[in-house]
Amino acid sequence: MDWSDTYDIVDSLCEKYPNEEPERLLFLDLMNMVTSLEGFSGKKENCNERILEAIQAIWIEEKD
């Protein structure tokens, strides 16, 4: 899994952090959560705010 796999990332985040409120997360915390996911091989230096916004938006949508 890499940064471009936003839906896979969100699925894994929902599974690993079922009680998390993604709308309250700081981007730094979200980035650390993503990089800690099993099977994630992306590098932090390849991440940017646009990617994190997309992940956060999809996660919020999935929680609703």
pLDDT score recorded for residue 16? 97
Q: Is residue 1 part of a domain?
A: no
Here the CATH number for the domain that contains residue 59 is 1.10.10.600
Domain range for 58: 6-63
The predicted pLDDT at position 63 comes to: 86
Handedness of CA 37, 40, 45, 51 (dihedral sign): negative
* Each residue's pLDDT tens digit, 6-35: 999 999 999 999 999 999 999 999 999 999
In a domain, 57, yes or no: yes
Distance of CA 31 to the CA centre of its chain: 7
pTM here? 0.93
- For residue 64, pLDDT over 90 is answered with no
Q: Residue 10 falls within a domain, yes or no?
A: yes
CA distance 35 to 63: 20
* pLDDT at position 55 over 90: yes
Residue carrying the six token digits 């800690």: 36
If one counts the domains in the chain, the total is: 1
CA 39 to CA 12: how far, in whole Å? 10
Quote the pLDDT of residue 7: 97
**47 contacts 31 by C-beta, under 8 angstroms:** yes
Under DSSP, the state recorded for 36 is T
